A and B are shown apart, each in its own frame.
Chain A
Amino acid sequence: MNVHVTGDIGARTLAIVSDLKGLEGPLLPILHEIQAEFGYVPQECLPVIAAELNLSRAEVHGVVTFYHDYRDHPAGRHVLKLCRAEACQSMGGDEIAERVKSLLGIDFHQTTLDGAVTLEPIYCLGLCSCAPAAMLDGEVHGRVDADLARELVAEARR
């Protein structure tokens, strides 16, 4: 998950932007690619994107910060997302969230000190008929009970 940045961020950004700028409304696809490349959206990317798309740097900054998905720093090696929405609440999602927080010793939006796990809230994975739901590094899990929560935490810790 956490990609260590090596090489020239500007040059790699330019390559991504050049690839995608022909799309109608290219900014979100570009930012998704940048996050996939670097693991977050480095500040150094913004002027490059702005210049290529003929936007102001403030406009690009506004977009990056508007959306929950874009990170301004790298996440842990694993990202554990817990659904916090109503259907998951109805099946004890809040208790599971508290349990996971105490197992990891962190709150939402935080990363464990060893850099292993970032814990994030998510509002609906569309798994509302098999709640509570979680996502570990893109893999979905339904009917998360205390045992499964412990397994997911152990897996993420590895």
Chain B
Amino acid sequence: MTVRIYIPRDAAALALGADRVAKALAGEADARKLDIKIVRNGSRGMHWLEPLVEVETAEGRIAYGPVKPSDVASLLDAGLLEGKAHALCLGGTEDIPFLKNQTRLTFARCGVIDPVSLDDYKAHGGLKGLEKAITMAPVEVVKEVTDSGLRGRGGAGFPTGIKWKTVLDAPGDRKYIVCNADEGDSGTFADRMIMEGDPFVLIEGMAIAGLATGATKGYVYTRSEYPHAIAVMNEAVTVARTAGVLGPSVLGSGRAFDMEIRVGAGAYVCGEETALLNSLEGKRGIVRAKPPLPALQGFMGRPTVVNNVISLASVPVIMDKGAAYYRDFGMGRSRGTIPLQIAGNVKHGGLYETAFGLTLGEIVDTIGGGTASGRPVRAVQVGGPLGAYFPRALFDTPFDYEAFAAKDGLIGHAGITVFDDTVDMLKQARFAMEFCAVESCGKCTPCRIGSTRGVETADKIARGVEPEKNRALLADLCNTMKFGSLCALGGFTPYPVMSAMTHFPEDFSPAPLVEAAE
């Protein structure tokens, strides 16, 4: 009997040698005349264990990791194909605490199935949401999404159902669904993982959005830095089109929806929805003033839903299991689950999907296991390059849109980057300004010029030039950028800068210049 062995094709696994492991295993199995089939799945999200090799046994899937090519022979000797013991054996995959304690709704299939097998997708509950949506009136689908409490997972947290309602009600001969997969924030990789590990869930979510709003064309705008995700998405779209999931009659409903994958060209600001739309239209990625809202005049001036990958990928489970099922997870106005991305200097880095409400301390210390370097955690940046740095003193903050806003932070796309005590917070504040200067689209003055002045001012503080005056100047500059910028790039760059200055003032008071020794 053929034994199925899973070795991820996720970029994080590849970066740690998954292709070499797969090649070594195929070669060794061939030499030993073993009957195996290697399935290249997505990642389970336990990146410190990658490459994670799983074998399917009568008792379920057994995991081994992290596996190096040189481990393959000894794994086979020990009885890998029967899931036998080995120093690298982690037991049943689903029993690993990091995975067992999660609530996987959006990522239910990621790492489990062959990403480009529609049969696998259907066998694991795929397409049920779309099938149900087809039987419903568009307004009912929109209501279901609204009732679920789903909010934009890209960072803004705007209620997804309300955005859809606006597009549904907007007059237009053509409407569009645009998926924002321009995941440029450092510390985030959930979009990449879902595109590489379960692309059909995104396709299904976009098709549902199309049926719900009357849009017939969808675009996924992703990053040139994600070649693996682009390849998987393109393959999956072709499969979906061939199978009639996409096309002139979605699943035989008589209603059309099709989509294309588009690739950006290395501009961070294109993650901002209006800059993204300009880029998609073939223009420079310059931010547009709002109004008009993209929901009314978006791509090509037509009503357009712009949603993040995770927002759209969460729709199928909501349609399948119902709004109430999804809404019952979470806290306050943050309903459902959030895929936390635990990154940076952390022992157990990876993706952890859970209901809103865990404290930052639980996430970093308990789930993440503290730093990889073994040194104390000093700062945690939540929400990417535009997110605030949190000190240990704020580790009791629950993971929730409003709770983070109340502490002058944001959850953003739920990326959590951990730093140990060697971090220099003045340097991090300077980097935030430098990044904004490099990536500013240039349309508004506070962002374009403010960021460059910010770098210069941070440098003066570092050199000990009138530190008190320059700290006040930096704070004033941040205030101008926050309230005067057109979009979140200039508007949110003050978050990392001000949080670093507020919570780590000692790094902004460098020792006064020492007189040269006599």
Contact = CB atoms under 8 A, between A and B. Distances in A.
A27 B263 CA distance: 11
B11 A140 contact: yes
Interface string A42-60: 0000000000010000010
Nearest to B300: A24
A91 B350 CA distance: 15
Most-contacted residue by chain B among A69, A86, A138, A142 (CB, 10 A): A86
Contact of A128 (B187, B227, B262, B372): B187
A130 B264 contact: no
Given A129-B342, A133-B15, A27 B192 contact: no
A33 to B, nearest CB: 11
B50 interface: yes
B279 interface: yes
Most-contacted residue by chain A among B228, B279, B282, B418 (CB, 10 A): B282
A104 B87 CA distance: 39
A128 B415 contact: yes
B300 A130 contact: no
A27 B282 contact: yes
Chain A interface size band reads 35 or more
B435 A69 contact: no
B125 interface: no
A28 B282 contact: yes
A28 B419 contact: no
Contact of B284 (A23, A63, A123): A63
A124 B262 contact: no
Contacts of B342: 129
B11 A32 contact: no
Contacts of A123: 184, 186, 268, 435, 438-439
B262 A29 contact: yes
A20 to B, nearest CB: 10
A31 B283 CA distance: 12
A86 to B, nearest CB: 4
B282 A66 contact: no
A85 B186 contact: yes
Most-contacted residue by chain B among A53, A122, A128, A131 (CB, 10 A): A128
B512 interface: no
Contact of B265 (A53, A70, A129, A140): A70
Contact of A90 (B11, B184, B192, B420): B420
A137 to B, nearest CB: 11
Contacts of B264: 28, 67
Given A28-B264, A69-B265, A130-B15, A122 B346 contact: no
Main secondary structure of the interface of B (DSSP, over half): mixed
Given A63-B283, A131-B344, A126 B188 contact: yes
B262 A131 contact: no
Given A90-B418, A130-B16, A26 B282 contact: yes
Contacts, number: 156
A91 B422 CA distance: 10
Nearest to B176: A24
B396 interface: no
Interface in A122-158: 122-131, 133, 135, 138-143
A77 to B, nearest CB: 19
B492 to A, nearest CB: 14
A69 B441 CA distance: 15
A25 interface: yes
B79 interface: no
A4 interface: no
Most-contacted residue by chain A among B226, B286, B341, B343 (CB, 10 A): B343
A116 interface: no
A75 interface: no
A19 to B, nearest CB: 15
Given A123-B184, A126-B225, A129-B346, A67 B285 contact: yes
A66 B284 contact: yes
Nearest to A31: B265
A55 to B, nearest CB: 9
A126 B195 CA distance: 12
B186 A87 contact: yes
A28 B156 CA distance: 27
A125 B189 CA distance: 9
16 contacts: A24-B299, A25-B282, A28-B262, A28-B264, A28-B265, A68-B267, A85-B385, A88-B186, A89-B431, A123-B435, A125-B11, A125-B15, A126-B226, A130-B16, A140-B14, A143-B16
Closest 3 CB pairs of A and B: A27-B282, A129-B349, A85-B186
Interface of B: 11-12, 14-16, 47-48, 50, 183-189, 191-192, 217, 224-228, 260, 262-268, 279-286, 299-300, 341-346, 349-351, 372, 381, 385, 415, 417-420, 423, 428, 431, 435, 438-439, 441
